[in-house]
Amino acid sequence: MWYFFSPDIIYGEDALDFLENITGKKCYIITDRTIKELGYLKVLTDKLEKLGKTFDIFNEVQPDPREELVLRVKHLCNSYAPDLIIALGGGSVIDTAKVIWAMYEYPQYGIDDLHIFNRDLYDLGKKAKFIAIPTTSGTGADVTYDAVISRYNNGVWQKLIQAHRGLVPSYAILDPIFPIGMPPNLTLDTGMDIIAHAIESLIANGKNEFSNALATKAIELSLKYLPIAYKNGKNKEARDHLHQAATMAGLAFGNANLHIGHTTGHCLGAVFTVPHGKCVGIMLKYATQYCLNNPDKDDLSVEIYAKLAKQLGWAKWEDDNKKAANLVIEKLRELYREVGFPEKIQDLGISNGDLEKNLDTLVNLCFQDASGSMSPRLPSKADFENIYRYAYEGKDIDF
């Protein structure tokens, strides 16, 4: 038995109008100040007023939401007693709302109770449906089942990854009106996250026919539309398709997992404080090369990436699989150059001395990152070190 979890998805121009079809009159909106300042919150509240729905708003979600904030919102949400919870924002907002939703349904639960083995959580939605409205195109948080919350513990900030299939929102509304205002650099970083989600999920340990179909389409759409949206953010067609690609990639990795591109990217970002999309976008190429070099003859990575290249018309069906699979790397190179994305860690302004000084920490963190175990090829300590060293210099992985 395996499974594929997904919200109901409403997409395209005017997708927000679908709110009229969702039962529930009393909405609790979770968002952040930027969304309010950009006028997006008003777009939503105008729509709700027009539909005769009442609402209360919490607009103070911060990036990397902290446990105490979540507990404060839990109290406010419980007092308001909504029958709809709406998250309007990026990954941090949606993650906060997922946790609030679960703790509203089960007030006796704390954050630690929201884990993959808690069977009660399959039953969310009795008190309120949860609608996720992403305003950026990248995280896939609108369709995934995990939420990252920070906790201060023994003098350090710890990121808790609370995950359960039941935390998948009831609805994801993908209206391109929201990401159209994203600045170019954010478009690029989040767009690289989409591509990393899709490419990694194709060979991750939980891969399946459903996730692979969506990952393939997400790769096709994002390679086509990311450069357009980056260069001309007002291009509605590009924004709409990129927004859809982000959700497809979210469904793909949410059901198939990610692997060492994200593992090494997460740790690089944590140690050197670099944006997530930048890190995973850089590490993707090296992680993919490492997996394509897998000496295990039973591993299917080469076949899977070759099939991708052939399906998307980069290679001919009769081409050698290894040659076709390597076109994934070539396509990434082409994209990096077209949009001016950094191809190596050095490009982030990190010195070689700083990398070497932090290598032990990076590798130890890699071994503790859950996505690392989902790789078809499991790196040793020396492999992790060399992946970082090669990625620093921009060398192709030859081991």
Partner 1 sequence: MKILTKEWLDAFGKAINDNPAYSEAASWWEGNMLCVIEPSGPLDREVRFFLGLYHGECTGVKLVEEGEEVDVEFTLSGPYDNWVKIAKKELDTIQGVMSGKLRLVGNMAKLMRATRAAQEIVNSLQNVETEFL
Residues that bind partner 1 (CB under 8 A): 1-3, 112, 115-117, 119, 158, 160-161, 163, 205-206, 364, 367-370, 372-374, 378, 380-381
| Residue with Cβ nearer partner 1 (79 or 380) | 380
| Residue with Cβ nearer partner 1 (96 or 222) | 96
What is the maximum alpha-carbon separation in the chain?
63
- E strands, 31-119, in order: 54-58, 84-89
CB of residue 122 to partner 1, shortest distance in Å: 10
| Residue with Cβ nearer partner 1 (5 or 314) | 5
| Residue with Cβ nearer partner 1 (6 or 321) | 6
Distance CA 118, CA 100 (A): 16
CB of residue 384 to partner 1, shortest distance in Å: 9
For residue 220, which phi and psi values (nearest 5 degrees)? -60, -50
In 141-208, which ranges are continuous DSSP H helix?
184-201
| Residue with Cβ nearer partner 1 (244 or 255) | 255
Distance CA 94, CA 169 (A): 9
CB of residue 161 to partner 1, shortest distance in Å: 6
CB of residue 90 to partner 1, shortest distance in Å: 23
CB of residue 147 to partner 1, shortest distance in Å: 13
Residue 77 has, within 13 A of its CA and on its CB side, a CA count of 33
For residue 283, which phi and psi values (nearest 5 degrees)? -70, -20
H or E stretch at 29: strand 26-30
Q: 313 exposed, middle or buried (CB, 10 Å; 0-12, 13-18, 19+)?
A: exposed
| Residue with Cβ nearer partner 1 (166 or 281) | 166
Residue identified by tokens 């990434």 is 332
Taking only Cα atoms into account, the Rg of the chain, rounded to an integer number of angstroms, comes to: 21
| Residue with Cβ nearer partner 1 (53 or 377) | 377
CB of residue 2 to partner 1, shortest distance in Å: 7
Of 276, 369, 291, the C-alpha closest to 329 is: 291
CB of residue 143 to partner 1, shortest distance in Å: 17
What is the number of other CB atoms lying within 10 angstroms of the CB of residue 68?
11
